[in-house]
Amino acid sequence: MEQSICHILVAEDSSALRLVLQRTLRTAGFSVTTAVDGADAWQLCMQHDFDLIVTDEEMPGLTGSELCQRLRKTVRFAKTPILMVTGKAYELDQALLRTALGISAVFVKPFSPKNVLRTAQQELAASSASATSPK
């Protein structure tokens, strides 16, 4: 049985970090679309389906939190795993982000791209398992 390729959106305004995340995820076999800011990410989400989203918190257009709020109000993205990266660890209530916005994990810059990849793989596996399990 052939396994389908998971589609991931990376929303990050830093071109260097966006490229690192894109390469890390693509090397692992994922299809990756990138957005340069929160508004671009929102537009891409309205046009495409994604299996997982990685978003920066502090971006122009829409912050990561604002993007997540919008996504959680849409049926298509209500349960999509979201990972957040941020340089504002001490200014954010990570527990609130996880509970209020359903963010699976928060990575504080600088972070290991391998840790993001590992968490993405775990979230996608869990998401796939729950989608295929009998109700």
Q: Each residue of 76-104: pLDDT tens digit?
A: 999 999 999 998 877 777 788 888 899 99
Distance CA 16, CA 127 (A): 29
* Phi/psi of residue 59, nearest 5 degrees: -135, 155
Residue 52 to residue 64: CA distance in whole angstroms? 14
Both tokens of 68, joined, read 């997540």
Per cent of the chain over pLDDT 90 is 79
pLDDT band at 130 (very low <50, low <70, confident <90, very high): confident
In the chain, the domains with their CATH numbers are 7-127 (3.40.50.2300)
Residue that wins the pLDDT comparison between 126 and 3: 126
Q: Render pLDDT for 35-67 as a digit per residue (tens, 0 to 9).
A: 999 999 999 999 999 999 999 999 999 999 999
**Do the beta carbons of residue 102 and residue 10 sit within 8 Å?**
no
β-strands 52-56, 103-108: how paired? unpaired
Mean pLDDT of the chain: 91
